[in-house]
Structure 1
């Protein structure tokens, strides 16, 4: 039997465009992954000012499935967070082998940001929730060609 956990990445950006993140892990038990992510981040259902969005999943050799949620803006911006130094996506070796050899947390955060940037452009509900420095930082990110990212 596989163990499922929910990874929550509260994301924030400062006026200079520097992204920071926290990582929270919560078990999945008796609730939906969305509910677990909201509980882990301390976000109420129906909160129109915070995006809670499933952004990826990955399988670990120990039999663990990790469901990742981006939470933006970070509901607790006063807590310590890690600076995202580069936006570097992890990629599989071939189209039929999508799982990269190594996935680091920074790669997962970068993927989450790219996902939010896409949603900012294509999902009016997300677009309405993300504003100010966050929207500016995501807009510049979403406009960069994929080739601009380090492989």
Structure 2
């Protein structure tokens, strides 16, 4: 979908295609699409991301949603690893999570794509530790395993204060 026109649909699907390099640094591509007639968000992500429903080494996971003032809901999905790793990607250099001002106002005042990517990676890092199927898929590749290990090691800069470490590692 043309991003300039994405605000015209009531629901858009944002796809963050994630990859890690051999030293564990993260990179992403962002694709935005709309739902086809009768298409579920999962199906739209697989279509736009180039993933089949039978894929066992690529994780497709909904990580968040947000409301835009134009009256649109944006569903965000992470796809990892990026099935088209040969395409140019953006290095994630700022691992800042966006936060609301108070507990009862969770929507941040400013939200950048990098904040959404950091949130998606934190979400996947949690699943690596808590979901055996997702964990096996995301750590099969050595670069991804190194990337998720770096997220656990550097949990404080991610804003999770060590919350990703399982009890056996404490």
The TM-score bracket by the shorter chain reads: over 0.9
Residue number among 94, 97, 104 corresponding to 2:102 in the alignment: 94
Unaligned runs of 5+ in 1: none
Unaligned runs of 5+ in 2: 1-8, 160-170
Residue 148 (structure 1) aligns with: 157
Tell me, yes or no, if structure 1 residue 10 matches structure 2 residue 17.
yes
Q: Alignment length, in residue pairs?
A: 149
Alignment of 1:63-142 (within 5 A): 63-131=71-139, 132-142=142-152
> Computing the radius of gyration over CA atoms, which structure comes out larger, 1 or 2?
2
Offset at 1:137? 1.4
- SS of the aligned residue for 2:32 comes to strand
Offset at 1:149? 3.5
Offset at 1:57? 0.4
The answer to whether the Cα contact below 8 Å between 1:58 and 1:67 also exists between their aligned partners in 2 is yes
TM-score, normalised relative to structure 2: 0.83
Spell out, residue by residue over 1:44-71, the C-alpha distance to the aligned partner (whole angstroms, 9 max, x if none).
0020000000000011001111000000
Offset at 1:79? 0.3
- What is the CA RMSD across the aligned residues, in angstroms? 1.6
